[in-house]
Chains A and B, each alone.
Chain A
Amino acid sequence: AQSVTQPDIHITVSEGASLELRCNYSYGATPYLFWYVQSPGQGLQLLLKYFSGDTLVQGIKGFEAEFKRSQSSFNLRKPSVHWSDAAEYFCAAGSRGFKTIFGAGTRLFVKA
């Protein structure tokens, strides 16, 4: 069955520290992969996406993600976290003609 797993329900990092959010997927073929961010009262905003090609993708707000086919992973990273990055982050997988599947999300807390 198709699924997206985000192993960490919540993560706390200090402001200025680096961040890595984990995402694993199970899919019939290499899917399109996405990371979205959701702040309270806001809709989901696309941070970055992977369709094909370079496995390291750059997104908005200084985020990047690396696709690793051998590990079925698409982890999100940021070298230096800002307090405004506190939010819920969702990894998602989809492919042409099929619905997009979301993980359960990882809530990021940033401490001063």
Chain B
Amino acid sequence: DTGVSQNPRHKITKRGQNVTFRCDPISEHNRLYWYRQTLGQGPEFLTYFQNEAQLEKSRLLSDRFSAERPKGSFSTLEIQRTEQGDSAMYLCASSLGDREGEQFFGPGTRLTVL
């Protein structure tokens, strides 16, 4: 068990560019979550998957954001036409469906939009 991994760890991009982040959950976990964390705040829920189905999306997830988990394993989070306000740490977590809330977090991807 190698834990939850996220790539890249850091991303610097210019405003208007598209970025994509990847999350590899713990292998037997069927639930996968994305959060956004800004300085001085706790993680804010963005979306979550059970297997390949996206079950809930936050209002924070504008139409510029899209997440996929095509085979129920790894997930990608894409941000189109990035804005400076998108600068944040993007966290991924996974859990077993029957232990709702007991989530295991990855180290995060820090996005800086110039």
Interface residues of A (CB under 8 A from B): 4, 9, 32, 34, 36, 41-46, 49, 90, 92, 94-97, 99-105
Contacts and interface: CB of A to CB of B under 8 A. Distances in A.
11 contacts: A36-B105, A43-B108, A45-B105, A46-B102, A92-B42, A96-B101, A99-B48, A101-B45, A102-B43, A104-B42, A105-B42
A44 B105 contact: yes
A92 B93 CA distance: 14
Given A42-B107, A43-B108, A99-B45, A104 B40 contact: yes
Nearest to A9: B40
A103 B42 contact: yes
B100 interface: yes
B91 interface: yes
B106 to A, nearest CB: 5
Contacts of A43: 3-4, 91, 105-108
A46 B104 contact: yes
B41 interface: yes
Contacts of A92: 42, 101
Nearest to B101: A94
Contacts of A105: 40-42
Interface in B20-54: 33, 35, 40-45, 48
A90 B89 CA distance: 15
A94 B35 CA distance: 14
B7 interface: no
A104 B58 CA distance: 18
A23 to B, nearest CB: 11
B63 to A, nearest CB: 20
A46 to B, nearest CB: 7
Report, nearest first, the 9 A-B pairs whose CB atoms are least far apart.
A102-B42, A94-B101, A43-B105, A44-B105, A99-B45, A96-B100, A32-B101, A43-B107, A102-B43
